[in-house]
Amino acid sequence: MKPLSPSADRVCCIAVEHFADRGYDASSLNDIAEQAGMRKASLYAHFANKDALYLAALGKAADAETTFAQAHFSAAEPDADQRWFEGLRARYHGSVNLRFLLRAAFYPPAALREPIGEVFEGYLDYLKRAPSAPSRSAR
């Protein structure tokens, strides 16, 4: 993902929350711009359209969740994989990034299905090859 300006990054953070809570169709660029403290026209200086903002926000959410997973599995504590699965429900409720990532993967806008699938598959690929906890290698 291309580095974002501080202003575009702020818009992306707001968009993650909007898209996670409302989905693609019910999210409004005007509402996102307003919450970011700018006019909708200014938002277009950072993102060409709603699709571009959606994909940038999705990339940000996927990066955040991958970073979280890396931290979890790099600790190499016993039963890290079991704790991962046991903690998913709480993580879902506590992480707007995970909620958005899963919502996008399971209910993608039709026109963005392919790029969303690529982002989500990248996240799943990391989870599949996450460093094994000591208890896994002992099995």
Q: Which amino acid type is present at position 48?
A: A
First to last CA, the chain: 37
Distance, CA of 34 to CA of 28 (rounded, Å): 10
Domains in the chain: ranges and CATH:
6-132 (1.10.357.10)
What pLDDT band is residue 134 in, cutting at 50, 70 and 90?
A: very low
Cα–Cα distance, 114 to 94 (Å, whole number): 27
pLDDT in tens, 90-107: 999 999 999 999 999 999
**Confidence (pLDDT) at 137:** 44
58's tokens: 């999705």
Judged against a pLDDT cut of 70, whether residue 136 lies above it is answered with no
- Residue 15: pLDDT over 50: yes
Between 82 and 94, residue with greater pLDDT: 94
At 1 the pLDDT is: 59
pLDDT digits (tens, 9 = 90+) for 28-60: 999 999 999 999 999 999 999 999 999 999 999
Whether pTM > 0.75 for this model: the answer is: yes
CA 97, CA 58: separation in Å to the nearest integer? 8
